[in-house]
Amino acid sequence: MIFFVTAVVGQSIFNQQYVIPLSGMIIGNAMTGVNLATKTFCESLSEKRQQMESLLNLGVTPQKILLPMVNQALETAMLPTLNSMLGTGIVSLPGMMTGQILSGTLPTTAILYQISVMIAICAVVCLSVFGSLYFGYKTLYNSRNQLHYL
């Protein structure tokens, strides 16, 4: 947030006119992504319990068993963000861009701000989802490669 407000927008981090709406958009999307990823990952764990037990009995490490589920959850969590980026400006005009154009800002300036906000949202969603899944799945097994929740 500090980088985005100071470097991209060119304002002080203490200027609430920019910090509050931008952080709301970014944090809200990150929360949605993490929630979708966690839900997808937990559903995969419950659906594939028997398969996981069989693979563990055959000597497959938990990392190799859980990593495809982590990848699937990351992909599922990123879909809403990528879909909104895909249609921005062509199919729909996001609220921030529309508000800037209606207030008299040049459309090119509004478009540049919207593109930078969408890139920031995508980056933060990707990093937060990756971090929560990557560090979270490692808590499911111990040093002897035994899964805790089974």
User: What are the counts of helices (DSSP H) followed by strands (DSSP E) for the chain?
Assistant: 6, 0
Structure tokens at 47: 């659906």
pLDDT tens for each residue of 1-17? 888 888 887 888 898 88
Q: What are phi and psi of 14, to 5 degrees?
A: -90, 5
d(CA 54, CA 75): 26
Residues 132, 34 contacting (CB under 8 angstroms): yes
- Tokens read off for 3: 């980088």
51-76 pLDDT tens trace? 998 998 898 999 999 999 999 999 99
Q: Residues of the chain with pLDDT > 90: what percent?
A: 44
Question: Are residues 4 and 120 in contact, defined by beta-carbon separation less than 8 angstroms?
Answer: yes
Q: Are 33 and 81 in contact (CB under 8 A)?
A: yes
Residue 75 in tokens? 């992909």
